[in-house]
Structure 1
Amino acid sequence: MKTIGYAAQSATSKLAPFHFERRAPRATDVAIEILYCGVCHSDLHAARNDWGGSVYPCVPGHEIVGRVTAIGADVTRHAVGDHVAVGCLVDSCLQCDQCHHDEEQYCRHGYTGTYNSPDRINGENTLGGYARHIVVREAFVLRLDNRLDLARTGPLLCAGITSYSPLRRWNAGPGSRIGVAGLGGLGHMAVKLAAAMGAHVTVLSRTADKLADALALGADELLVSGDTEAMAKAANRFDLIIDTVPVKHDINPYLPLLDIDGTLVIVGQVGTLPEPSTVPMIFGRRRIAGSLIGGIAETQEMLDFCARKNIHPDVEMIRMDQINEAFERMERADVRYRFVIDMASLPAPQAG
């Protein structure tokens, strides 16, 4: 299947139009016309090889919403014409204990990412959702409730599930006291989801200027992390803090905010942190943990929850040819809170 997308050809090149061929659907595959694709900070990191290991050409994009155009002979879950979604995973071994526990993101043999990952069968590098079409194994294609707005659903496939999974894992709900550090793409979803679960939600921010935004998203209050007196008064306040800050930062000021058996979950920064103090951990039985997206079953659960609760990310729609500008704005935190690409802005693939 001939298609067109936008690709980085090197770590220093801008994304530009790229014509390429998708594989023919295998017996268990679903072919999808992509309608919308969210823009994640991971896309920028992969295009620029910030984490190492990027393979070029690199077509990013793992927040995909589209329409089924063809199915393999053995496909039973989806039909031509269905609206579907694809997130960060397009395959795993499906045989190990983690896959059997519906946690394909922790597959013992390594999951196959939607882009920049070797295909499990032919070894070719996967190319992501900044394109008109994609072909994905049926088990990794998610159904979409018709109550979801297709144009705003894409970021749920990464920002949504990355926030939802730790909230579920640490039993957020009525009576829970949840802190959210950072109010970007991940943080604004954590606030919306935690509030919808019935938790008392506090945004942790360096300054008070995000108070109105935090309250509008569903938070109950804002705690200024730069206010030493306010932070001291907030000791032992939280059962769970979701740390969505995407850059290297000091987590030590957050640890005393946790109650006994409280947990700080890092979902935003991939890399090293300044050395944490063990004092509040030992004397309060507090924990530092991490969490990576969610499995397919949990992602489906999250999508269905958002449909029931009418939860959508706040997004700004862009054309495909605005992606390099969007990357630059994302680096400046100049987006509220997620970009989504309208794939109708891509030209048709070349014939022949």
Structure 2
Amino acid sequence: MATKKKYEALREKIIAHIKKHDLKQNDQLPTVRDLIEKFHYSYATVHRTLIEMENEGTITKQHGKGLYVNRIPSKSGHNKNVALIIPKDFSAHRIMLDVLSGVRSALEKANISFIVSISNMSHEKEKETIAKLLAKQVDGMIIFLEDHYKEDYSHITALKQSKYPFVLIDRYIPGLETDYVVINNHDAMARVCSYLKYNRSCDEIVFVPSNDSSIAASSSDEKQLGFRSAIKMLYGKERATVLMLEELVNKLNVLCKTYNNVGVCLNHDTMLRDFQQELETAKMTIPANCHIFGYDRSFDNTTYPTVEQFNDEMGRKAAEILIEKLKHPTRPVTQLRLNTKLVFPNGTGGFQMDN
């Protein structure tokens, strides 16, 4: 059996001291001199150990004040427990169920238990949930942020500053370096628009953002940026056509009379129901030269072409990154963008994907 390195042995003794004295976050630890005298290690060993513990987020050093507890690590191995925070329940949102499936498969394989918390798209509940999980000494988190997180992400900044292990999923915070796994929405929109132009001969394509104009998630932003970029590349147009759903319904017949073929890119498959309801209210039908393309396949029976995000893979990758962070707290940040596939109905209730 390999001999334990001195700094590893001292780290275990310091953690045992924290637990024995029931120290909490921001409680003060013994001084460097006290640690040398108490555990009989050299200054060099104590110094290295404290650097390692600060890098992993277990302690903090405040210049001129001393050492403080930052986070109390759980016992290693099979006792680790993490949390998955999602913004909506599973019953009405397939993406959440698929993410859960992927997270579970990776964590169970690693023998790590986990709990699930739902924020119900509440910013305050999301912040409160994270605070409660930290108080319960959960070892790490996978966080699917609510729709309006860009207005205030101070709780995520605090996690990063404390070096707490967490991974963002589906959406990220521009300008804040964190681990995340998201969908390559920019590339997906380019392929959707290319299909509509070259396979459906569309001479006009419209993007329809979410019904809630206040949503500022990176996933929605990148779809629209990808759409604008694709329109410029394919048609040489500086201004792309973006219409809210109600506005699209009002202009649909005029658009379809003006152009030979019109493509409509929806921000999400769930908008199809709203689109159909709006059309029924207006006593309209979709013109034959209007070609709908959804996003994030949400229904087993695909009526229109859509985009498959492989959300279970996104969940699995996020969990695998978190597992590695728990093993190696100082590992470099990992940021993944997963590719998608276009999905086409085959006319018999099934579907096929592009290569």
Place the TM-score, normalised by the shorter chain, in its bin: 0.3 to 0.5
TM-score, L = length of structure 1 = 0.34
Q: Which one has the bigger strand percentage?
A: 1
